[in-house]
Amino acid sequence: MSIPSNLPPITQIGDRIVQIRLPMTGNPMRYINGYLLEDDDGLTLIDCGWKADDVLAALEEGLALCGHTVRDVRRLLITHFHFDHYGLAGTLIGAGVPELGMHERDWAFLRARRERRGDDDSIVNAWLERNGLPVQPEDDDDSWDRFDYVEPTRMVEDGEHIGRLRAMFTPGHSPGHLCFVDTVSGRTFTGDHVLDPVTPHVGMWHDASRDAMGEYVASLRTVGALETTGALPAHGEAFPDLARRVDELLAHEATRETDVLHALDDGPKTATEVAGALRWRRRGDRFDQLHPEHQQFAVAETLAHLEHLRRRNEVTRTDAPARITWARVLV
Ligand SMILES: [Zn+2]
Ligand SMILES: [Zn+2]
């Protein structure tokens, strides 16, 4: 099996970095970028795609074009636990890759999910329903099937040096998202933290004690302050000006926050009602034009904004048994 011919299998970035396109068949994102780096002690692969035969074939083909096989990969580093970044890790460890690194917070999330044995979907659905969005069970996808739970051999910490890379803890898109700065080329591997032109998703998918949006905005500022020679994102094309893109994303989140507050001007609402007052996607679609799965993402994102505003005392949350409503704090 080979990768779709409209994807160039590899791109030489320079400085002994190669980008390998790994297919996401059936997903509008189309592919994820794995990055292969030569280091003094062997090859490092950043992110590996989800668990599927066509992904493994694309990775093997990309490695072969560089004169390597999977066995030459010394370590696999995962920017975050999402299945399109981590799913194939178990296969690669099984094939002899000795080292797997990710952040402890993301591994803790996966470990907890493994212990709940798949009850997460019902937890998420109940949470969305309390926030006003009825969820049809057939909306559930099979994304969680496209990976194996495999324990990291190392927990990567903020500021840690791993070969030529320096890890940066950038929570928000996931609880333990990592970016990696290449100390050789000055480039930054941004994972899903900073994408262009896609706006990374930040959502509150259960009744968390986290302020995901607050963490995301703080992490954006950290990355925006980097001296860097360019961004290498997990989806889409490499882009040169990371600080510019960070500024755009910060401006976008600030605008969304203002829109969420305005949506509460005429009284308390559920998160779904707030989402219904906003425009979605770059086209500016209405909420009711979104596919049911995208409605879930929209409500989770709205909740992340509401929770962030609640922590800043601009919004209050009222829990009734069947409904959670949010209201502006009027001064
Ligand atoms: Zn992701
Ligand atoms: Zn992704």
Predicted structure pTM score: 0.94
The answer to whether residues 52 and 25 touch, using CB atoms and an 8 Å cutoff, is yes
Measured from the alpha carbon of residue 24, the closest ligand is 2
- Calpha distance 124→308 (Å, rounded): 19
The answer to whether residues 18 and 2 touch, using CB atoms and an 8 Å cutoff, is no
At residue 137, does pLDDT exceed 80? no
- Calpha distance 28→38 (Å, rounded): 31
At residue 172, does pLDDT exceed 50? yes
CB contact set of 163 (below 8 Å; sequence gap of 6+): 37, 39, 40, 41, 44, 75
Looking at per-residue confidence, does 233 or 208 come out higher?
A: 233
Measured from the alpha carbon of residue 48, the closest ligand is 2
Measured from the alpha carbon of residue 85, the closest ligand is 2
- Calpha distance 135→314 (Å, rounded): 29
The answer to whether residues 40 and 16 touch, using CB atoms and an 8 Å cutoff, is no
What average pLDDT score do residues 242-265 get?
Answer: 97
Q: How far is CA 26 from CA 4, 39, 143, 218, 225, in A?
A: 12, 34, 11, 33, 36
CA of 193 relative to ligand 1 center, distance in Å: 8
